[in-house]
């Protein structure tokens, strides 16, 4: 991949809710004329200027005019930069041509996608093209699925160091979380459900934990769709809304890492709700919650700055093997998971690719398989995440 580009990084969708947070973070962390040469991209120069001024970004930040409905403008953007960071979703509606162009031209790409059916389609259509061009396409570089994908990778690396082999069973359990969804996330969920209702084949993709591992199918996985009491954790566990995408990405990471976690790897995700009657009642309430389908929030809307700043998350990973060995690790974030923390995670993912040209070859990757420890280190140094062994 050539590095003789006008920009190192272009933020596509800079005027959207999450895009403006990304630009704010890049300006605060890296400045405009510093080590990372980045630009703001969107459909309207006027709106870009408005966002720039609202976020306190210097007037010297470059603009790139790109409109998803005008492919020549998107192609010109892709040709101008080493990495495209896109927050323009739902990706199944606006992202397909961008992935194709990046794959053909050899430009690296990161997004916030939590749409597994679309990702399945993109892998089939463009993975070989990306391999040939050298483009490193990395989906799901936000709360779905960075803390989970990298959390499993972190724990497995510890297991290989301490036990000389990976753990065949890991449970991801959200211990605590404070945060809300944005309108963009809700719109992606609604579009996915509508598409599945029209196409039964999509339901198979959504329900299959190995739908992103191409021809590989591993052992039967726990469904995680019903409340259970877990004696080893002394807590009830409830279904976790992001598990559908995170589990698929983690199994894809295992595939792309040449089955570093083992051919028999079993993984599921749930949310801890506590012990006793209260824990059981909470688990059942979470399992029956249908609020995402009925939430009135629209794209472009999201939590307030106060909500983002006071949000947090704490995810526990519990690994075990047939010898009775157990290892635990946690991943914690210091901001609202979906936005305050996500804007930092996707920014650091893009910069990690930019600064590590040999981190991965061309292809369609996950965060753990493409960047692994390199990204863990950046997130701990810059983005308010902590990875820690427990117990």
Q: What is the pLDDT of residues 184-227, one digit of tens each?
A: 677 777 787 777 778 877 888 888 999 999 989 999 999 999 99
The pLDDT-based confidence of 250 (bands split at 50, 70, 90) is very high
Residue-level pLDDT at 244:
92
CB 363 within 8 A of CB 257: no
The model's pLDDT over 115-163, given as tens digits with 9 standing for 90+, comes to 999 999 999 999 999 999 999 999 999 999 999 999 999 999 999 999 9
Whether pLDDT at 309 is above 70 = yes
- Give the pLDDT confidence score for residue 1 in this predicted structure: 46
d(C-alpha 147, C-alpha 176), whole Å: 13
Structure confidence at residue 181 as a pLDDT band (50, 70, 90): low
Q: Cα(first)–Cα(last) distance of the chain, in Å?
A: 44
Give me 83's structure tokens.
């990495």
- Note whether 311 and 335 are within 8 A (CB): yes
* Tokens read off for 72: 């020549």
Selection from 144, 141, 135, 145 nearest residue 99 by Cα:
135
Beta-carbon count within 10 A of 323 CB: 8
pLDDT in tens, 266-298: 999 999 999 999 999 999 999 998 776 666 666
Interval 303-311 mean pLDDT: 84
Domain 7-142+344-370 CATH (choose: 3.40.50.720, 3.40.50.970, 3.40.640.10, 3.40.50.300): 3.40.50.720
CA–CA gap between residue 46 and residue 39 (Å, rounded)? 15
| Bridge partners, residue 385, by sequence | 333
Max CA distance (Å), the chain: 63
CA dist 255 and 257 (Å) reads: 5
| Domain ranges, ordered by start, for the chain | 7-142+344-370, 146-334+384-390
**229 contacts 280 by C-beta, under 8 angstroms:** yes
Query: Among 41-55, 303-317, 356-370, whose mean pLDDT is lowest?
Result: 303-317
Residue of 5, 6, 4, 17 whose CA lies nearest to 342: 17
Average pLDDT over the chain, rounded to whole? Answer: 93
- Indicate yes or no: pTM above 0.85: yes
Q: Is 131 exposed, middle or buried (0-12, 13-18, 19+ CB in 10 A)?
A: middle
280, two tokens: 């059981």
């Amino acid at each position: 991949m050539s590095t003789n580009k006008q920009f190192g990084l272009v933020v596509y969708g800079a005027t959207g809710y999450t895009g403006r947070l990304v630009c704010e973070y890049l300006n605060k962390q890296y400045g405009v004329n510093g080590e990372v040469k980045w630009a703001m991209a969107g459909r309207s120069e006027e709106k870009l200027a408005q966002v720039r001024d609202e976020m306190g970004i210097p007037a010297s930040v470059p603009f790139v005019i790109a409109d998803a409905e005008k492919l020549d403008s998107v192609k010109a953007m892709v040709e101008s930069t080493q990495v495209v960071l896109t927050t323009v979703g739902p990706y199944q509606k606006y992202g397909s041509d961008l992935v194709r162009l990046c794959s053909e031209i050899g430009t690296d790409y990161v997004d916030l996608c939590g749409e597994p059916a679309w990702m399945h389609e993109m892998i089939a259509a463009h993975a070989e093209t990306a391999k040939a061009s050298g483009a490193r396409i990395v989906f799901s570089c936000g709360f779905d699925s960075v803390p989970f994908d990298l959390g499993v990778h972190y724990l497995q690396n510890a297991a290989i160091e301490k036990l000389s082999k990976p753990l065949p069973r890991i449970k991801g359990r959200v211990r605590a979380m404070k945060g809300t969804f944005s309108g963009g996330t809700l719109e992606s969920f609604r579009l996915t459900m509508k598409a599945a209702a029209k196409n039964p084949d999509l339901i198979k993709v959504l329900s299959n934990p190995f739908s992103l591992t191409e021809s590989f199918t591993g052992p039967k996985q726990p469904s995680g769709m019903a409340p259970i009491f877990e004696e080893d954790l002394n807590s009830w566990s409830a279904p976790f809304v992001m598990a559908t995408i995170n589990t698929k990405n983690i199994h894809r990471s295992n595939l792309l890492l040449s089955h570093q976690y083992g051919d028999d790897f079993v993984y599921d995700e749930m949310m801890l709700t506590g012990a006793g009657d209260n824990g059981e009642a909470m688990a059942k309430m979470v399992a029956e919650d249908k609020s995402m389908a009925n939430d009135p929030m629209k794209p472009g809307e999201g939590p307030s700055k106060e909500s983002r700043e006071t949000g947090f998350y704490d995810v526990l990973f519990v690994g075990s093997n047939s010898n009775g060995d157990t290892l635990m690790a946690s991943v914690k974030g210091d901001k609202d998971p979906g936005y305050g923390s996500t804007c930092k995670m996707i920014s650091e993912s893009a910069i990690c690719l930019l600064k590590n040209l040999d981190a991965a070859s061309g292809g369609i990757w996950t965060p753990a398989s493409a960047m692994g420890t390199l990204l863990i280190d950046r997130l701990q140094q810059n983005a308010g995440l902590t990875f820690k062994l427990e117990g």
